[in-house]
Amino acid sequence: MFPPRILITGANGLVGQALTRAAARLPGADVLATSLSTAVVRTRGGTARLDVLDGDAVERMIQDFAPDVVLHAAGLAQVEACEADREACWALNVDAVATMAAACQRHGARLVLPSTDFVFDGTAGPYAETARPAPLNAYGRSKLAAENALKASRLTDWAVARTTLVFGAPAGVVPRLDLVRWLIRELRAGRPVRVAADQLRTPTYDDDLADGILRIVRFRRSGVFHLSGRESLSILGVAHRVAEAFDLDAGLIAPATTAALHPGAPRPLQGGLLILRAESELGFRPRSLDAALDAVRDRLGLDAPA
């Protein structure tokens, strides 16, 4: 199956765009990038509209394109939006995964599902794959349920790729800014920002995540893998590194608590992921945070600090 036929859902999102770019670089790969929007980000390979909530449309797409593997990046990742509309969150993050898994099983395709460190409660991170999940919010519960739906399906050839705090520089418009691009926008405009000083994560560069997921595909691995950066630091620490990398005013950055910033949707405080399994079994080698920020600056066409 290599080079494979790859179907990507959610191709207009941050992760979906990174997967589309990376998959299109595989020699001989046949890539179909799909999204709910008709304005799918264009790269080498085909594009199509797909509503993953439409079971008949999913079935037709899998039957007609006959992918070897589906990279299912479609979903609702906005934590507050999931908390506000739990029914919509569940439909997109759980029911659509079960539908996709069933279609993949019927047509002999593999399925790789990106997930999140928000499946954990943040009391003992960074977490290994063997840690017991205990999500705190609707988003985390939906992603854990999606993982469980995949495991409970009749599909035997599947993988889950948990990640955390993904950032990058997508070519097209995405539904929301990631932390790094939000910080760049606000600090360049001279606006003060408040960021969490009590929330630890292992920030992940989008191209590194895409590389890790395609390694799962290439090496035909199954099960749960953690794919993130190696460095564990607070959101406040990330903000200061962004200010340094882009020559922005760190004096505009003020510490705050996660509870104060997000009163309606709790976050795991000591989160992040351990990536030893991915390093040893996949040869996964994420770049340092500073190197990733340099890459974002290059992709955005910004000058390096003097």
Taken in order of first residue, the domains within the chain and their CATH numbers are 5-168+204-228 (3.40.50.720)
Residue 183, token pair as written in the block: 């910080």
When mean pLDDT is compared across 37-46, 132-141, 266-275, the lowest value belongs to 37-46
For 184-193, what is the mean pLDDT?
Answer: 96
Q: What is the mean pLDDT of the chain?
A: 93
pLDDT for 40 equals: 53
Q: How many CA atoms lie within 13 A of 54 on its CB side?
A: 12
pLDDT of residue 4 exceeding 90, the answer is: no
pLDDT of residue 43 exceeding 60, the answer is: no
Nearest to 133 by CA among 146, 147, 142, 121: 121
Burial of 261 (0-12, 13-18, 19+ CB in 10 A): middle
Q: What is the pTM of this model?
A: 0.95
**CA dist., res. 54 & res. 202, Å (int):** 35
For 238-266, what is the mean pLDDT?
Answer: 96
pLDDT of residue 111 exceeding 70, the answer is: yes
- Give the confidence band of 29 by pLDDT, cuts at 50, 70, 90: confident
**pLDDT greater at residue 201 or residue 25:** 201
For 153-158, what is the mean pLDDT?
Answer: 92
Please give the positions annotated as active site.
139
